[in-house]
Amino acid sequence: MRSPVAFLFVLVLYFAMDLYVYRGLRTLDPATWVKRVFMAVHGLGYAYVLYGFFKYDPSAPSDEVRRGMQTFMVWFVLLYVPKLPMIALWLAEDFVRGGYALFGSNGWPERRKALSWIAVGLGTIPFLGILDGWQFGRSRYRTKHHTALIPGLPEAFRGFRIVQISDIHSGSFTDPDEVQKGIDAVIEANGDAVVFTGDLVNNKADEMDPWLARFAKIQAPYGVFSILGNHDYGDYIPWPSPEEKAANLEQLAGQHAKLGWDLLRNERRLLRKDGAELELLGIENWGLPPFPQYGRLDDTLALCPDPSTPKILLSHDPSHFDAEVLPNSANIALTLSGHTHGMQFGIEIPGWFKWSPVKWKYPRWNGAYPVGRKTLYVNRGFGYLAFPGRVGMWPEITVHELQPA
């Protein structure tokens, strides 16, 4: 339920930020038209937010909800994230100015124009980065290669290629050509098998309807296997009845079938090659609160006749790896997850440096994390949610090449 008190508090906070930035920019004595543009842009933003608060209906058609959410997120991210480094610099300057005023005899000194120009520069860098991520970053698909070392891997599966995609979030898509670019990259990866690690939609199964024909082209010789993510259950919107919510989930399962993807809901499959077998497990979403815990790892492992046989696990939320996979004695050699999106915001210099604020929530947030004889790999996702873009954290397609440990 939306809280008017919380909404008013946030609105006042944003207004205080805008006023503080405006006062800082006045140091540079901008032209009158610049001031008017600043006020007009922010005034329109506040009007839209007020309209959205009173008119927003999460049960409305998916396209209507998407348009409203994405418009708000673009406004918020473009206008407020760049202000954070500006405010930080001006606050530091005001702290020093306050010291002079408190202990000096000449009152508050004037702001330094040079520092204000630096503040503008600090704000411009993320602004341009966000603008690029909004317009181009969401379709800047990157194919990554990971050599997965599997203890006890049958020789027949040496070099076996599993292509992983995750977090499609079809309800966010607007441009078919952008989406097709990513689908083509998945097909070109030429996997022996393909796995999808959850979040096909944002909330409703019908979000996938316009995209079924395109994604159905993703096939592989040994099959395409999929699981559910936290967004697939429809837990984040109100439903007229529990029955309609349950029907939505069954409709979504039907979407996987239409795609030709084998949906695993706490289930086991066997991959067979040249007389050898490899176990593939897929569980429903399991995350730390407040995320749902529908996954049943122990029940799924009970379907496996030999705990020592190497297993690959599909589990949407990477927190499941530390909570249940690592403590388990079964030979779950490789766990494939998604969920984090790399927060759709971060910095990466391939082979050197990688950072995103999401690491404060998920220490294992992107890439490979070997721990003893087990490895977790977190894919940063194919699509996007809320903010319609990706800044520095480009969409990912992962090719896992299996090799014996």
Decide: 264 and 227 in contact? Cβ < 8 Å. Answer: yes
Question: First and final CA of the chain: distance in angstroms?
Answer: 51
Q: Is 223 helix (H, G, I), strand (E, B) or coil?
A: coil
User: What tokens does 332 get?
Assistant: 């779950």
Decide: 346 and 337 in contact? Cβ < 8 Å. Answer: no
Return the percentage of the chain with pLDDT > 70, whole number. Answer: 97
User: Does residue 176 carry a pLDDT above 90?
Assistant: yes
Res 139: pLDDT: 97
Q: Report the pLDDT averaged over residues 26-35.
A: 85
Decide: 109 and 97 in contact? Cβ < 8 Å. Answer: yes
Res 53: pLDDT: 74
**What is the C-alpha to C-alpha distance for residues 333 and 100, in angstroms, rounded to an integer?**
62
Q: Is 13 helix (H, G, I), strand (E, B) or coil?
A: helix
Mean pLDDT of the chain: 93
What residue type is assigned to position 320 of the chain? Answer: H
Span 148-175, pLDDT tens digits: 999 999 999 999 999 999 999 999 999 9
Q: Is 156 helix (H, G, I), strand (E, B) or coil?
A: helix
Query: What number of CA atoms fall less than 13 Å from residue 386's CA on the CB side?
Result: 9
Res 102: pLDDT: 82
Span 298-338, pLDDT tens digits: 999 999 998 888 999 999 999 999 999 999 999 999 999 99
Res 2: pLDDT: 59
Decide: 306 and 278 in contact? Cβ < 8 Å. Answer: no
DSSP class of residue 389 equals S
Q: Report the pLDDT averaged over residues 379-393.
A: 96
Span 183-195, pLDDT tens digits: 999 999 999 999 9
Res 59: pLDDT: 63
Buried b (16+ CB within 10 A) or exposed e, 357-367: ebbeebebbbb
**What is the C-alpha to C-alpha distance for residues 283 and 323, in angstroms, rounded to an integer?**
14
CA angle 95–96–100, rounded 5-degree value: 115
Span 249-269, pLDDT tens digits: 999 999 999 999 999 999 999
Domains for the chain: give ranges and CATH numbers: 4-135 (no CATH), 141-404 (3.60.21.10)
Between residues 68 and 86, the one the model is more confident about = 86
